[in-house]
């Protein structure tokens, strides 16, 4: 019987060791045994494999040569598709299948509903979801197109006297009409299809018939769309009628923070670069950055690695590799950064001091040359 192995794109591998760690955990291997190893190469001589942490090396980032002419590359030696794939038994729609002749496990995007059961069951989750395939990116773009359309539709209709429940109905009906699924609905018990956060609500505001938008309010509308198992996530601020100069300035500076964070992204840069840039601009303008929530990976699931904090240190954190899809979504407060969660609904976050809060969010694709905005 013909069996196929897995191919690795060495141009995308950045030596994170996630595949090796997942393999060791999944197979409950003792300390001195590894089935899946990532070797570090400090030269171009592939007659030898180099060093590997799993084989006793003290580090996996020792470059060869002299600065600035250094050489460093990674060579994963990876396992085969699972003999008994954990993802197969948990798929509720039959989207995940295994070819008994070749042993290849595949996912039918037409049948996938994005429940994430396979991701949770898979011991190689980090490898599966961190770098997106061309097909993943194609479907994320589709989700983003619907998501952008939803927020454009909200922009046309939102006004004083409109309830946040009416915003929810608009979002839900537009999403379904255009072939998408509202990701927030029933996500870990969330009861609505969109988050609507007004004035001192930092995030996760729950739409309600009793919440009527008033002249002078600022409101964040946070939309996430699923299309054939793939996700796009974005939010925008809306100013209702005549808004105070204080509120206008907060909304404007928060949007600037988002753009400055995006401008800080470089392929093979670091997550910390984003937070450092956002934090500096917010503080320079007399505002604080919410620390309890962060951006995140997105695409194959609602919330994936990496975590993307909006405070940080330049040059720190996970490397941003081409093929990653992330959100940047700074939440900026006019007062202190501290917040509390509504004790009754368990979702909505409020500023602790009652000050105004604003947020903008984009979904971004890291490319070989920079960054592409997918959902906005």
Q: What pLDDT is stored for residue 175 in this prediction?
A: 98
Kindly state the tokens that stand for 95.
Answer: 């989207």
The CATH fold of domain 18-128: Alpha-Beta Plaits (3.30.70)
The token pair that represents 222 in the structure block = 């946070």
Contact status, residue 315 vs residue 272, Cβ threshold 8 Å: yes
pLDDT bracket for residue 138 (50, 70, 90): very high
Q: How confident is the model at residue 23 (pLDDT cuts 50, 70, 90)?
A: low
Residue that is written with structure tokens 């009861």 in the block: 191
C-alpha distance from residue 184 to each of 162, 213, 275 (Å): 21, 21, 25
Decide if 104 contacts 81 (C-beta within 8 A): yes
**What is the chain's mean pLDDT, rounded?**
86
**Which pLDDT tens digit goes with each residue over 168-181?**
999 999 999 999 99
Q: Which residue has the higher pLDDT, 17 or 51?
A: 17
What's the pLDDT band for 37 if we cut at 50, 70, 90?
A: low
Mean pLDDT of 81-93: 80
- Is cis: bond before 306, omega within 30 of 0? yes
Asked whether 330 and 360 are in contact (CB, 8 A), the reply is yes
Cα distance between residue 304 and residue 170, in whole Å: 27
Give alpha helix (H) positions in 32-133.
86-90, 117-121, 125-130
pLDDT of 202 strictly over 90? yes
Whether pLDDT at 38 is above 80: no
Domain ranges of the chain: 18-128, 135-375
Tokens of 296: 């995140």
**Third-level CATH fold of 135-375:** Creatine Amidinohydrolase (3.90.230)
Strand (E) or helix (H) holding 40: strand 37-41
pLDDT at 354 over 70: yes
pLDDT band at 126 (very low <50, low <70, confident <90, very high): very low
The residues near 58 (Cβ < 8 Å, ≥ 6 apart) are: none
Q: Count other C-beta atoms under 10 Å from residue 291's C-beta.
A: 15
Q: What b-and-e string marks burial along 81-109, b requiring 16 or more CB atoms within 10 Å of the CB?
A: bbeebbbeebbeeebbbbeeeebebebeb
Residue with the two structure tokens 């942490």? 53
Average pLDDT over residues 306-326: 91
What pLDDT is attached to residue 3? Answer: 54
- The pLDDT value given to residue 127: 46
Q: Judge whether residue 363 has pLDDT over 60.
A: yes
pLDDT(9) > 50: yes
Residue owning tokens 């250094």: 70
Express each pLDDT in 320-345 by its tens digit.
989 999 999 999 999 999 999 999 99
Identify the pLDDT of residue 79.
44
User: What local confidence, expressed as pLDDT, does residue 355 receive?
Assistant: 98
- Please state, as a whole number, how many other Cβ atoms lie within 10 Å of the Cβ of residue 360: 24
Q: 338 or 75: which carries more pLDDT confidence?
A: 338
- Put simply, whether the predicted model's pTM sits higher than 0.75 gets the answer no
pLDDT digits (tens, 9 = 90+) for 255-299: 999 999 999 999 989 999 999 999 999 999 999 999 999 999 999
Q: What is the mean pLDDT of residues 67-76?
A: 64
User: What one-character DSSP code corresponds to residue 206?
Assistant: P
User: Which one of 86-95, 106-115, 206-215 scores highest in mean pLDDT?
Assistant: 206-215
């Amino acid at each position: 019987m013909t069996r196929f192995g897995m191919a690795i794109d060495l141009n995308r591998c950045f030596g994170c060791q996630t595949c090796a760690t997942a393999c060791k955990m999944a197979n409950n291997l003792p300390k001195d045994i590894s089935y899946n190893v990532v070797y570090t190469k400090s030269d171009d001589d592939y007659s030898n494999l180099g060093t590997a942490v799993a084989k006793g090396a003290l580090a996996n980032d020792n470059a060869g040569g002299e600065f600035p002419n250094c050489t460093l590359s990674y060579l994963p030696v990876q396992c085969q598709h699972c003999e008994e794939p954990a993802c197969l038994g948990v798929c509720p729609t039959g989207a995940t299948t295994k070819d008994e002749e070749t042993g290849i496990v595949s996912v039918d995007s037409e049948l996938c509903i994005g429940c994430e059961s396979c991701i949770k069951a898979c011991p190689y989750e980090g490898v599966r979801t961190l770098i997106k395939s061309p097909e993943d990116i194609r479907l994320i773009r589709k989700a983003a197109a619907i998501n952008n359309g939803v927020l454009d539709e909200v922009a046309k209709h939102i006004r004083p006297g409109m309830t946040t429940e009416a915003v929810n109905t608009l979002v839900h009906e537009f999403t379904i009409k255009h072939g998408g699924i509202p990701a927030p609905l029933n996500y870990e018990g969330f009861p609505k299809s969109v988050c609507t956060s007004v004035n001192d609500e930092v995030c996760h505001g729950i739409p309600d018939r009793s919440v009527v938008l008033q002249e002078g309010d600022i409101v964040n509308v946070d939309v996430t769309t699923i299309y054939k198992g793939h996700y796009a996530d974005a939010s925008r601020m809306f100013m209702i009628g005549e808004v105070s100069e204080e509120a206008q300035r907060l909304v404007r500076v928060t949007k600037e923070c988002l753009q400055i964070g995006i401008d800080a992204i470089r392929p093979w840069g670091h997550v910390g670069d984003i937070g450092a840039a956002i934090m500096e601009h917010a503080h320079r303008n007399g505002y604080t950055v919410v620390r309890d929530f962060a951006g995140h990976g997105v695409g194959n699931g609602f919330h994936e690695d990496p975590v993307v904090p909006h405070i940080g240190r330049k040059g720190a954190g996970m490397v941003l590799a081409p093929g990653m899809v992330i959100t940047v979504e700074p939440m900026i407060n006019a007062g202190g950064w501290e917040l509390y969660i509504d004790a009754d609904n368990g979702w909505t976050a409020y500023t602790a001091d009652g000050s105004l809060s604003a947020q903008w969010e984009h979904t971004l694709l890291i490319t070989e040359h920079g960054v592409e905005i997918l959902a906005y």
